[in-house]
Amino acid sequence: MSTIQENTRPALTVLSDDEIAFRDAVAEFVAGEVAPRVQQMERDATLDPALIRAYFEMGLMGIQMPERHGGAGGTVMMVTLAVEEISKVDAAAAIMVDVQNTLVANPLIAAASEEQLARWIPRLCSNTIGAYALSEASSGSDAFALQTRAVKAEGGWTLTGRKLWITNGAEAGLFIIFATVDPSKGHKGITAFVVERSAKGFAVGKKEDKLGIRASSTTEVILESVFVPDSDVLGPVGQGYKFAIAALNEGRIGIGAQMVGIAQGALSAAVAYLKERQQFGKPLSEFQGIQFQVAQAATELEAARLMVYNAARLTDAGRDITQSAAMAKLLSSQVCERVTSLAIELFGGYGYTKDYPVEKYYRDAKIGTIYEGTSNMQLATIARSLFR
């Protein structure tokens, strides 16, 4: 039987020359700029400002933003590759790039006018971090049970409320805020607004002290009668829920990329350790029981990776990704938990210490089953698509 050649595999699993070059460039960047900073950023629970500047200089903060406004004009697949590569070393460092290129970029590209794009995109590509503010104390899994109100005022709107769990909150200069203009209309009253950090009445509140992804900021956002001009309303009034859903669907691909990257980082570290660590006169990697565990983990990881890549390809093709993104996020987060747990066991007692990297991978993995929709919410989404 002849061996299947690489070029005979389905196109879905093959990267183009441009994608390979981009992925390799990101990997080189990660080795030089991210890896040396991981331990200090973990201790400080803060991203190094020098790394953030390097992200902008590398063009990683505007991967799929329009070229005419300073972006790279890239694809969701390229965002996926970048997030995966960074997450292999530090998921916390990857999240800023992920949110900027999915949750922030998606609604702007979908709903902003040309005039709005010309104002916001050049900043987001060169020096300004964005944040996506949907969640509240009473609206987590029930994402549209918003209490934040937008009241019409002369020339604009006045926003009042509190947002929780806002990624990039500590560093962001622009915030996409979702508020309801009429609670009686349910989700059809939700409207998206772009708010400057410098706006009067706007404040960033408590920064969460988290189990994992510690260098990525997660904060409260407080709005006390914040005036937003009509020119900063994103899309039609009452249509914000559409942009929120689309952004979350694409964001789940980014989470999948994070999980695949974390799992790959942990598995690679474990394989390297197993080749070196000797017991009973030979490397641990020569024991068949261990080989089989690693082989099973690698197989599950590859399945998760392909689901994430598939969802990214479908997005770039303009297809409905509601089901595929939910499946990719669900499976990748589950696989990541299993692989990182196994990595600690393969390291033995060393794996439980901070002297080795796998305990951090393990802690970073847990968030994958929670944010941007819990595993149960992904199952509910998948079930609806199957039984509709």
> Does residue 372 have an active-site annotation?
yes
Structure confidence by residue, pLDDT tens digits, 324-366:
999 999 999 999 999 999 999 999 999 999 999 999 999 999 9
Which domains can be identified in the chain, with CATH numbers?
6-128 (1.10.540.10), 131-238 (2.40.110.10), 242-387 (1.20.140.10)
Match 């942990």 to its residue by tokens. 266
The pLDDT assigned to 141 comes to 76
Structure confidence by residue, pLDDT tens digits, 127-173:
999 999 999 998 877 877 899 999 999 999 999 999 999 999 999 99
Whether the per-residue pLDDT at 316 is higher than 50: the answer is yes
The pLDDT assigned to 223 comes to 98
Structure confidence by residue, pLDDT tens digits, 75-130:
999 999 999 999 999 999 999 999 999 999 999 999 999 999 999 999 999 999 99
Instruction: Give 2's pLDDT tier (boundaries 50, 70, 90).
Output: very low
Contact 266, 272 (CB under 8 A): no
**Mean pLDDT, range 28-49, rounded to an integer:** 98
Catalytic choice (42, 85, 220, 372): 372
Structure confidence by residue, pLDDT tens digits, 279-295:
999 999 999 999 999 99
Instruction: Give 10's pLDDT tier (boundaries 50, 70, 90).
Output: very low
The pLDDT assigned to 89 comes to 98
Whether the per-residue pLDDT at 237 is higher than 60: the answer is yes
Whether the per-residue pLDDT at 11 is higher than 60: the answer is no
Whether the per-residue pLDDT at 252 is higher than 60: the answer is yes
**Mean pLDDT, range 6-11, rounded to an integer:** 41
For the chain, the average pLDDT equals: 95
The pLDDT assigned to 12 comes to 52
Structure confidence by residue, pLDDT tens digits, 202-212:
999 999 999 99
